């Protein structure tokens, strides 16, 4: 199994527009959702207006994914 670190970032605008990005170095991010496009999450329940985040991983070869840390920052 290769040792490769991947960083993920979620930007939220107006509490319901989401943009997902990833990075290999934690500084230069590539957008997953297609450029500057935000995905509309307006159909999601507001849950007191706090963002809830979950991380899942799936491999076609049943390899394990290890999450070393998880940080949530409100900017």
Percentage of the chain exceeding pLDDT 90: 1
The three-state secondary structure class of 27 is coil
Are 46 and 69 spatial neighbours (Cβ–Cβ below 8 Å)? no
The position carrying tokens 């290769």 is 2
Mean pLDDT, residues 65-75 taken together = 75
The position carrying tokens 């990833």 is 22
What are the residue boundaries of the structural domains of the chain, listed by start? Answer: 1-75
Express each pLDDT in 49-67 by its tens digit.
666 778 888 888 888 888 8
List beta partners, residue 41.
Answer: none
> pTM above the 0.85 mark?
no
């Amino acid at each position: 199994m290769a040792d490769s670190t991947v960083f993920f970032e979620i930007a939220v605008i107006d509490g319901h527009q989401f943009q997902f990005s990833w990075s290999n170095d934690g500084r230069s991010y590539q957008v997953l959702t297609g450029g500057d496009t935000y995905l509309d999450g307006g159909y999601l329940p507001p849950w007191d207006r706090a963002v809830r985040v979950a991380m899942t991983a799936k491999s076609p070869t049943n390899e394990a994914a290890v999450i070393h840390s998880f940080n949530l920052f409100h900017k």
